[in-house]
Amino acid sequence: MSISFTPTRVAGAIASALLLAFAAAPASAAPVKTQVKNIVLVHGQFADASGWKPVYDILTRDGYNVNMVQEPLTSLDEDVAATVRVLARQPGPSILVGHSYGGAVITQAGTDPHVAGLVYIAAHAPDAGESTASNKNKIPGQIRTVTTPDGFVFVDPAHFHEDFAGDLPADQAEFMARSQIPAAARVNTTLITNPAWRVKPSWYMVAKQDRAINPDLERMYAARAHSHTVEVDGAHTIYISRAKEVAAMIEEAAQSAGN
């Protein structure tokens, strides 16, 4: 018995084979979603980068490449420059995270093309033409500071635990009070010129018992930036006391900003 192959029958067989091939293609042929693996952490005033250690430990354990900025706290421009230098060393896009005054730094530095997203932890997020001082004057906190004759500001050590680190043990707060880095007063009055949260996705964690930055000011910042927002119980130092929640928000930003 012989089988004849007409042009019509051959064309039909080829079409069927192509359909089967496409149907059997692996799922990996779909666009692959990526996530940002680089995290840059920016501290605020009256502290240094070592306070990020609990967050650093969680993120590095989870496979992220984490670097901290040690700002000089001498001017907003110099603090932004220090941040951009760290961003430039990263092997790809980064999530930029700021605590407290560090939020103003990432707001100004975050338009850098290396930045994929912004995370604000109880932080300032001024708009163009605003400063941290102008916004604190509108919605004041309760922190008590001292200004030196040469124009540097620090938290009164007698009130540091209550005003800055109320969610930390007293001995830890005492050490932080004695090791705090005074900031040049001008960092608080320098105006933001190009706020990154207007062009980059952002996340915001509000500290509900914050005395350094009024929680209502934090809520205003988050709402205005249309940030993905979470509120937690804690004082200004939630980046230490709520490290697990802070790291989880950063990881959420890294997974979302890369898609």
The model's pLDDT over 232-244, given as tens digits with 9 standing for 90+, comes to 999 999 999 999 9
Residue 88: its pLDDT value, please? 98
Work out the average pLDDT over 107-115: 98
Is 73 among the domain residues? Answer: yes
> Amino acid identity of 182?
P
Query: Computed over its alpha carbons, how large is the radius of gyration of the chain?
Result: 25
- 2 vs 135, higher pLDDT: 135
Quick: pLDDT tens for 153-181. 999 999 999 999 999 999 999 999 999 99
- Model confidence pLDDT, tens digit, residues 44-91: 999 999 999 999 999 999 999 999 999 999 999 999 999 999 999 999
Prediction pTM value = 0.87
β-bridge mates for residue 202, sequence order: 118
Is residue 33 assigned to a domain?
A: no
Does 24 score more than 70 pLDDT? no
Q: Which long-range contacts (CB under 8 A, 24 or more apart) does 158-163 make?
A: 160/46, 162/211, 163/211, 163/212, 163/236
Count of structural domains, the chain: 1
Query: Angle 102-109/76-88 helices, nearest 10 degrees?
Result: 60
Q: CB–CB of 234/209 below 8 Å?
A: yes
Q: How far separated are the first and last CA of the chain, in Å rounded? A: 59
Q: Is residue 6 part of a domain?
A: no
Q: Is residue 3 part of a domain?
A: no
CATH number for the domain harbouring residue 100: 3.40.50.1820
Long-range contacts (CB closer than 8 Å, 24 or more residues apart) made by 152-158 = 152/182, 152/183, 152/184, 152/185, 153/45, 153/182, 153/183, 153/184, 153/185, 153/188, 154/46, 154/180, 154/182, 154/183, 155/46, 155/180
* Residue 21 scores a pLDDT above 80: no
Whether the pLDDT of residue 16 is over 70: the answer is no
> What are the beta bridge partners of residue 98?
42, 120
pLDDT at 33 over 60: no
The answer to whether 51 and 101 have CB atoms below 8 angstroms apart is no
Q: pLDDT tier at 259 (50, 70, 90 boundaries)? A: low
Instruction: List the domain range (segments joined by +) for residue 140.
Output: 38-257
* 22 is a domain residue: no
Burial class (CB in 10 A: 0-12, 13-18, 19+), 14: exposed
Instruction: Give the per-residue pLDDT at 35.
Output: 85
